[in-house]
Amino acid sequence: MNFSLVYSAAFRWETFPHMADIGIRGFGNSPKEALEAVSFALISVITDPQKIEPQRALNICCEADSYDLILYDWLNSLIFKMATENMLFCRFDICLSLPSLQGVVWGETVDRHKHSPAVEIKGATFSELFFGQGKDGLWIAQCIVDV
Amino acid sequence: MEMALLEKISDYCWQIPIQGKMRVPVIIYGSEKIIQAMDQKVAEQASNVASLPGIVKASFVMPDAHWGYGFPIGGVAAYDPEEEGVISAGGVGFDISCGVRTLLTGLQEKDIQPIKNKLADLLFKEIPAGVGSHGKIYLDKEQMNKMLVGGAKWAIENGYGLQKDLSRIEEEGCMPGADPHAVSNLAKERQAREMGTLGSGNHYAEVQVVGKIFDETIAKVFSLQQGDIVVSIHCGSRGLGHQIGTDYLKEMVVCAQKLKIDLPERELACAPITSELGKRYLGAMRAGINCAFANRQIITHLIRKVFLFFFPGIEMPLLYDVSHNTCKVEKHKVNGQLKELYVHRKGATRAYGPNQQEIPEDYRTVGQPVLIGGSMGTHSYILVGTTQSERLAFSSAVHGAGRAMSRSKALKEWKGKEIIRSLEEKGIIIRAVSERGVAEEAPLAYKDVSDVVEAAHKADLAKLVARLDPLICIKG
């Protein structure tokens, strides 16, 4: 069985409409889980995460004093790595302890026939940027990304 | 948008009077139909823009406006450095200097009909487009810095185009004041392999036919005749501009907090024009503008090569090149006094009227060409700047159709394959990397560009000159 298929199915994430761009949102029982989930939502803007195989790993480190700024940095780091390494990701292992985030991401080189990527993401924005707990205690990580 | 909020000034001009923290009113241009269809968030965002320090005259909204982040897309605002005015990275946007350029071909539709499919295929092959596409050019650090200072001038010096192209580009293709040292290494790394690439989303290269002339005299000055083939390119500063936006947006959020600038939302993050951060952003943003000029210049070169293959000896002079997402230092009259202002145009085009020194000499008596890109499969338009536009909106006009529907909704409504087939039935060839991308960019996901330009025309922001109809569209 395809590993990425199992992995993405374990996370709760969604996209939500914005007039020009698109919103992404991830849910989890901890900040780490919500971050991992929103990372799938980010990838889903470009392609179906289930089409990606975890062939190569990259390290990503961020530092910020607040949860929302670390979410902003994390998403922008993923966007930067996708652009410069020409990759798409399907697995995100995150170790988060403010102000530090250590992440290892797995994915593969963009294959236009296999992934049929719909759109490039320019950057994560501060619009609707939220990383915190909802009333039910569930962690939510969300923002609008510029496409 | 709730019309009850607005005061009618004329059939194509409406106002939100000063209220709350607003320092100036919001002026919205458009027909009642267009404004009714505009999302309410545009009014909210334009009002927020009106609350920033140093804003002059009004926060302007163009007829193609829609909900953006911080500033609305289709927003124009000028800030005065002498009144503690600010510069905002969100007011320029991530795609710095995204814009349109149009090339003349001297061909007629009958010339390309026999080779239309082959031309589409070769253009699609030669112009790197879509996610994961890289150009054949790699810029090392030294060349990157030279490109960021030189813009289209650098591209031409390196063999991508003709010297005479420069006079037909805003700022003659080279924005002064660019500071490559204000651009992060991350931004440069992101751009290293992206020179001469189209990008994705609403960016395109399109072969078009002049379908209608509205003003024969001005069309003649622009060398346009009904039935002529032209080629338009819509793209921007690629990864470099996106990363500059990302880098400075974060820095400006922190700066605004420190300086206790009251931000209704964080996307309005800004810095005083006279501050170190403000000046640094300006240097980086101008480097981003040069990157966009160079990028469009290289794509122009690739397109000319393709046309030369089919039409040996063809010359393809540039009609003009305009940018949409910029902040420019311009002199405008405020209360009868000429002032140097920092004019933010986010999803709006400069539209100088006649007799401005900044306009190419050939066009100076009539005004600046204003190139309005359509959405895939729809018309595009060429307008000309007006004298009135200076008074109306700091010489600004619309930039395109503007989205009317979210990507998610567009995906539910249409299938890419069906759109490609239906456009082909109308004689429009689409070449695209992704069918899903085509569905997200469906023509009906955008406002009717004809309504938008008619509103701009009737509001006197710019005047209609010609309509362009698509024949071949290369999408990222």
Quick check: A27 pLDDT over 80? yes
- Longest CA–CA span in chain A (Å) reads 43
pLDDT at A8: 58
Query: What H or E segment, with its residue span, contains residue B78?
Result: strand B71-79
pLDDT in tens, B364-392: 999 999 999 998 889 999 999 999 999 99
pLDDT at A6: 42
Q: Assign A9 a pLDDT band (cuts: 50, 70, 90).
A: low
Using the 8-state DSSP alphabet, how is residue B165 labeled? G
Nearest to A19 among B39, B249, B433 (CB): B39
Quick check: A123 pLDDT over 80? yes
Residue B91 has phi, psi (to 5 degrees) of -80, -10
Kindly identify which residue of chain A lies nearest to residue B439, measuring between CA atoms. A118
Q: Where do the domains of chain A lie?
A: 5-146
| B79-115 b/e (C-beta count within 10 Å ≥ 16 → b) | bbbeeebbbbbbbbbbbbbbbbbbbbbebebeebeee
CB contact under 8 A, A110 and B408: no
Distance from CA of A49 to the nearest CA of B (A): 14
pLDDT in tens, B63-111: 999 988 899 999 999 999 999 999 999 999 999 999 999 999 999 999 9
Q: Beta-carbon neighbour count of residue A99 at 10 Å? A: 12
* Percentage of the residues of chain B whose pLDDT score is greater than 90: 90
Q: Assign A5 a pLDDT band (cuts: 50, 70, 90).
A: very low
Asked if B328 and B396 touch (Cβ cutoff 8 Å), the reply is: no
pLDDT at A11: 80
For the segment B168-175, the average pLDDT, to the nearest whole number, is 98
Q: What is the mean pLDDT of chain B?
A: 96
Top-level CATH class of A5-146?
Answer: alpha beta
Q: Beta-carbon neighbour count of residue B398 at 10 Å? A: 31
- Longest CA–CA span in chain B (Å) reads 64
* Lookup result for tokens 């209704």: B264
Kindly identify which residue of chain B lies nearest to residue A83, measuring between CA atoms. B190
Q: What is the pTM of this model?
A: 0.96
Pairing of strands B26-29, B55-69: parallel
pLDDT in tens, B262-316: 889 999 999 999 999 999 999 999 999 999 999 999 999 999 999 999 999 999 9
Q: What is the mean pLDDT of chain A?
A: 92
Q: Tell me which chain A residues have a C-beta less than 8 angstroms from the C-beta of B434.
A: 116-119
3-state DSSP call for residue B46? helix
pLDDT at A1: 35
Q: Assign B349 a pLDDT band (cuts: 50, 70, 90).
A: very high
Residue B276: is it exposed, middle or buried by C-beta count within 10 angstroms (0-12/13-18/19+)? exposed
Integer Cα distance of B462 and A139 in angstroms: 50
Q: Tell me which chain B residues have a C-beta less than 8 angstroms from the C-beta of A20.
A: 66-68, 73, 403
Peptide bond just before A54 cis, omega within 30 deg:
no
Nearest to A20 among B73, B242, B433 (CB): B73
pLDDT at B426: 95
CA atoms B198, B204, B210, B213: torsion sign? negative
Beta bridge partner(s), residue B16: B26
Task: Provide the token pair at B176.
Answer: 């002064």
* Percentage of the residues of chain B whose pLDDT score is greater than 70: 100
Q: Tell me which chain A residues have a C-beta less than 8 angstroms from the C-beta of B436.
A: 116, 118
Quick check: A2 pLDDT over 70? no
Q: Is B66 a catalytic site residue?
A: no
Integer Cα distance of B153 and A132 in angstroms: 48
Q: Tell me which chain B residues have a C-beta less than 8 angstroms from the C-beta of A143.
A: none
pLDDT at B298: 98
Integer Cα distance of B432 and B420 in angstroms: 9
Query: What H or E segment, with its residue span, contains residue B112?
Result: helix B109-112
Task: Provide the token pair at B204.
Answer: 């395109």
Integer Cα distance of B44 and B372 in angstroms: 26
